[in-house]
Amino acid sequence: MKKKMEKAFNKQVNAELYSSYLYLSMESYFQSVSLTGFAKWMRGQVQEEMFHGIKIYDYVHERGGRAHFEAIQKPEAEWKSPLVAFEHILAHEQKVTQLINDLIDTALEVRDHAAKAFLDWFIIEQVEEEATVGEIVDRLRLIGDDSSGLFHLDSELAKRVFAMPVK
């Protein structure tokens, strides 16, 4: 693996670990406001982002590279509402999508077709992430100040179970 690609992948590992850290902070926020379904949904996100980071880490090593770690930025800890928290998630996932796109650009620039093929899985994953979070944002906007609607959505989100994707 070319050093430029290795460096870019290492940056992405850090971004995925930060995502996990951010969602763990959001899980704590939702626990603190007694929205345990939202908290459970966030726990699934924590696990998913950790999986993404490890998947990239493993790929770097499979290709003869080495993972290097940076400090993980401290995430926010408070949000004004569930809607604001999910709008934050949507913006964050859009940023992650751009990071994956940048990785693909780097793979194409250095002519690393194996890296490009590996990253295609992440593109599909990001489309799904943005759609799922976007739907929750839309539903929270429809709910507005209706606490019964919020608690109904909370019970729906509690049904989420993280399933380890097939590598």
SS (H, E, C) 127-146: HHHHHHHHHHHHHHHHHCCC
Identify how many contiguous H helices and E strands the chain contains and give both numbers. Answer: 5, 0
- Look up tokens 């980071």; give the residue: 53
- Look up tokens 């608690």; give the residue: 151
Domain contains 166 = no
Q: Which of 52, 49, 51, 43 is nearest to 24 (CA)?
A: 43
Domain contains 139 = yes
Domain contains 112 = yes
Q: Strands (DSSP E) along the chain, which ranges? A: none
CA distance 16 to 45: 11
Give this prediction's pTM. Answer: 0.92
Domain contains 162 = no
Domain contains 115 = yes
Distance set, CA 103 to CA 39, 50, 135 (Å)? 31, 18, 27
Distance set, CA 115 to CA 65, 76, 97, 99 (Å)? 12, 32, 16, 14
For 45, the enclosing helix (H) or strand (E) is helix 36-62
- The whole domain housing 143 covers 3-157
Domain contains 108 = yes
Domain total of the chain: 1
- Phi and psi (nearest 5°) for 117? -65, -40
CATH number of the domain within which 7 lies: 1.20.1260.10
Domain contains 167 = no
**pLDDT tens track of the chain, all 167 residues?**
999 999 999 999 999 999 999 999 999 999 999 999 999 999 999 999 999 999 999 999 999 999 999 999 999 999 999 999 999 999 999 999 999 999 999 999 999 999 999 999 999 999 999 999 999 999 999 999 999 999 999 999 999 888 877 76
Domain contains 165 = no
**Distance of alpha carbon 23 from its chain centroid, rounded?**
8
